[in-house]
Structure 1
Amino acid sequence: MLIALSNTPRDYAWGSPTLLADLEGREPTGAPEAEVWFGDHPGSPAEVHDGSGRTLDAWLPAAAAEHDVPAKLPYLLKLLAAGAPLSIQVHPSKQQAVEGFAREEAAGVARDAAERNYKDDNHKPEVIVALSDTFTALAGLRDLARTRALVDLLGDAPAVAALRAHLRGDDSADALRSAIGWLLGEADPAAIEQIVDAAASAESEEYAAELALTRSLHSAYPADPGIVVALLMNLVELRRGEAIFVPAGVLHAYVAGLGVEIMAASDNVLRGGLTPKHIDVDELLSLVDFRPAEPPFLRATPSGADAEVFAPDVEDFSLGHLAAGGATELPLTGVAIALGVAGRTTVSGASGSRLVLEPGQAALVTADESPLATDGGGEVFVAMPGD
């Protein structure tokens, strides 16, 4: 069974006013359009176009007994259009989410409270694949020797010297924990401004992109400590079709561009800067993996002609990709959501059911339709459970 799905864009302030409209070939609304969710998450469930008038969170439990679908999806698929940087954030592991959610439930913290950290008891690993020519992100903490070299460019103002002192030591993770804890919890706005001003006036060929981002972030988030936290992170520029995988504990922020994103079905986000929202510094520090690492690129595995799968080591999801150019097939690992991102593509299942997908259009595909086939000059991403 193939059934068309749709949803309306979320109007978060960081959204782009043009990227989603350009993808779908329509006039921009003039408002920021940040994300379109294709899933059953109650925050913005997709509409099911089968005449029932239901959204997917209601449709799946009603259909589970009759069709080959679960009552709830383990993943959430999104189009994400960043016109301005998102907050620096981290997601908990499954165990941390279970414990944190139970703790806040027992304490009586309202689930919609601004200070609430855990909205549910699930983890939220995620993958994003660039759809724009470039997609800029911050992902993970940079090698400490390189970070020290960057900070050495900033001169000897008192706040810079304090940051440098926190970054000393033989244990890289301890040094980065100390620096980020100080920036988010103890450094006053004047100290943050001093470091940012030093970075804004610094020059370096090697770190030109990082220093330019600092200047850009300063105009968007004046005196926000996250500007300096960003200086400690890997700056990544994905080309179209490239991906990163962000597991639990990895600090990250999406800065600019259009991408297709898949994640475990959760809303657990702890923020670490570039935001006016609540930051629980102690809880954030308890979750972050402070070990420096290279950017977490994720390479796709080929799956037949013109098909590939982005498959991180998680049970919740994998993301198939069917390239433009001709007929191809993709085996499904369970109930799937197919999303058109370029051209015009006919998708069809084993039963002979067919739908045409234009960019920005999606379809629910039951597992018994495997393999999913495409034909035409379009490009499709397919969300499905992990294998």
Structure 2
Amino acid sequence: MLTRISNSPRDYAWGSRTLIAELEGRRPSGAPEAEVWFGDHPGSPALVEDGSGRTLDTWLAEESAALGVPARLPYLLKLLAAGAPLSIQAHPSKAQAEAGFAREEAAGVPRDAAERNYRDDNHKPELIVAISERFEALAGLRELDATRRLVQALGDGPGTRALRAHLEGADATATLREAIAWLLGPASSEDVVDVIAAIDGARSEEFAAELALARSLAKAHPRDPGVVVALLMNLVTLMRGEALFVPAGVLHAYVAGLGVELMAASDNVLRGGLTPKHVDAAELLSVLDATPSGAPLLAPREVAPGVQLFDAGVPDFALAAVTVDTGTAELDLSGIALAVAVGGIVEVTGASGERVTLQPGQALVASAVESPLRLAGAGRAFVAMPGRP
């Protein structure tokens, strides 16, 4: 079974007005276009283009037994186009999600309530691969000594003195956790305003890009403590084809660019600023991994000619990047797969002989019995499938 699927872009305010339209080769709609979901998530299930009018969640539920496919996908594949920074956020581990979901269910918090933290009982590790020339993100907490140098560039106002004091601890992880707890708490409000004001005049050759981003964040989110939290995070620029993997507890915020995103099938988000949405600082801190490190980059490995696999070692998903140029590339599937083309023309043929041609932005669903998939033409596609158990 090899069947085309489609969906419409979601118009979140942070979405780009051009990137998805340019990929698909069409005129921009005029509205922000943030994400296109290729999956069965009930928030925006893809449409199965088999003439039945069914969405992918309904299609899987009704056809799973006959086709030998699962009734639910363990992952969600997206095109993500950021025209403005997303909220600073982290996601829970599986155990944290199960406990949090059970707690809110017992408390009777409606699943669609704005203050709900856990809308399901699943974790949400996620992977993003840049498909624009550049993709910018904040990901993970910077090494503490480097952050101290950045804060030194902010001058000597009362807020920056208070921030420096909160960054003086010997244990880097505990120090960063306490600093974030302070920034997101009510006691810091005047100091946060002072730090944000100091950003405008700060100069540093080492941290010029970080300060430039902070100034733009401050204009969009005045008085938001997330602007200062962002100063503690790694600013990452991915070039086309490079990837970030964000495991449970790691703070991140995508800033600008177009990428293919793959995540576990969950809607659990704990926010830490740069958003008008609900911020539960205590709950965020309960899942936060405050260990400082470099950016969480994920390098692929070549598994076949023209096929690179991004494998984060989670059971929910793995992502193959397939490039073909007049020849043919073969990909062994580990289960039901979704494929999306991001350049050129890609012809996908399954083991049954079924064939679907994809242009940029077009996608399909393939059952595991179609393995190996053969991709031909001259283009590039990404194929999502289950990961290692």
- Give the TM bin, normalised by the shorter chain: over 0.9
Residue 149 of structure 2 corresponds to: 149
CA distance in 2, matches of 1:200, 1:290: 27
- Calculate the aligned-residue CA RMSD, in Å: 0.8
Residue 330 of structure 1 corresponds to: 331
CA contact (8 A) 1:345 1:357 kept: yes
CA contact (8 A) 1:345 1:356 kept: yes
Residue 240 of structure 1 corresponds to: 240
CA distance in 1, matches of 2:10, 2:384: 20
CA distance in 2, matches of 1:205, 1:165: 23
Per-residue CA distance 1:196-222 (angstroms, 9 max, x = gap): 121221111110000000111111111
> How far apart are residue 186 of structure 1 and its match?
2.5
CA distance in 1, matches of 2:288, 2:359: 39
Matched, 1:349 2:350: yes
Per-residue CA distance 1:250-288 (angstroms, 9 max, x = gap): 000000000000000000000001001111111111110
CA distance in 2, matches of 1:324, 1:25: 20
> How far apart are residue 125 of structure 1 and its match?
0.2
Return the TM-score normalized by structure 2.
0.98
Matched, 1:368 2:369: yes
> How far apart are residue 231 of structure 1 and its match?
0.2
> How far apart are residue 376 of structure 1 and its match?
0.6
Correspondence 1:81-96 to 2 at 5 A: 81-96=81-96
- Aligned to 1:44, the other structure's residue is in SS state coil
Residue 359 of structure 2 corresponds to: 358
- Aligned to 1:213, the other structure's residue is in SS state helix
Residue 252 of structure 2 corresponds to: 252
Matched, 1:135 2:116: no
> How far apart are residue 187 of structure 1 and its match?
4.2
Residue 303 of structure 1 corresponds to: 303
CA distance in 2, matches of 1:303, 1:47: 31
Residue 183 of structure 1 corresponds to: 183
Residue 29 of structure 1 corresponds to: 29
Per-residue CA distance 1:225-271 (angstroms, 9 max, x = gap): 10000000000000000001000000000000000000000000000
Return the TM-score normalized by structure 1.
0.99
CA distance in 2, matches of 1:131, 1:334: 25
Per-residue CA distance 1:332-351 (angstroms, 9 max, x = gap): 00000010110111000111
CA contact (8 A) 2:125 2:248 kept: yes
2:376 maps to amino acid: D
CA contact (8 A) 1:310 1:320 kept: yes
CA distance in 1, matches of 2:202, 2:316: 44
> How far apart are residue 152 of structure 1 and its match?
1.1
Correspondence 1:31-50 to 2 at 5 A: 31-50=31-50
Residue 107 of structure 1 corresponds to: 107
1:219 maps to amino acid: K
CA distance in 1, matches of 2:187, 2:124: 30
Per-residue CA distance 1:54-76 (angstroms, 9 max, x = gap): 10010001111100210000000
Per-residue CA distance 1:286-332 (angstroms, 9 max, x = gap): 11001101100000110111111100010000001101423111110
CA distance in 2, matches of 1:109, 1:74: 25
Structure 1: state its 5+ residue gaps.
none
Per-residue CA distance 1:129-188 (angstroms, 9 max, x = gap): 001100000000000000011111111111111111111111111111111111111345
Instruction: Tell me which moved more, 321-330 or 238-247.
Output: 321-330
Instruction: Tell me which moved more, 87-96 or 44-53.
Output: 44-53
Residue 387 of structure 2 corresponds to: 386
1:339 maps to amino acid: V
CA contact (8 A) 2:324 2:375 kept: no
Percent sequence identity over matched residues?
65
CA contact (8 A) 1:346 1:375 kept: yes
CA contact (8 A) 2:90 2:250 kept: yes
CA distance in 2, matches of 1:36, 1:314: 23
- Aligned to 2:70, the other structure's residue is in SS state coil
CA distance in 2, matches of 1:8, 1:68: 28
Residue 227 of structure 1 corresponds to: 227
Correspondence 1:256-267 to 2 at 5 A: 256-267=256-267
Matched, 1:15 2:27: no
> How far apart are residue 193 of structure 1 and its match?
2.2
2:151 maps to amino acid: V
> How far apart are residue 191 of structure 1 and its match?
2.2
CA distance in 1, matches of 2:90, 2:70: 28
Structure 2: state its 5+ residue gaps.
none
Instruction: Tell me which moved more, 332-341 or 215-224.
Output: 215-224
CA distance in 2, matches of 1:174, 1:198: 26
CA distance in 1, matches of 2:187, 2:261: 34
- Aligned to 1:96, the other structure's residue is in SS state helix
CA contact (8 A) 1:68 1:335 kept: no
> How far apart are residue 189 of structure 1 and its match?
4.2
Moved over 3 A (4+): 187-190
1:349 maps to amino acid: G
> How far apart are residue 190 of structure 1 and its match?
3.5
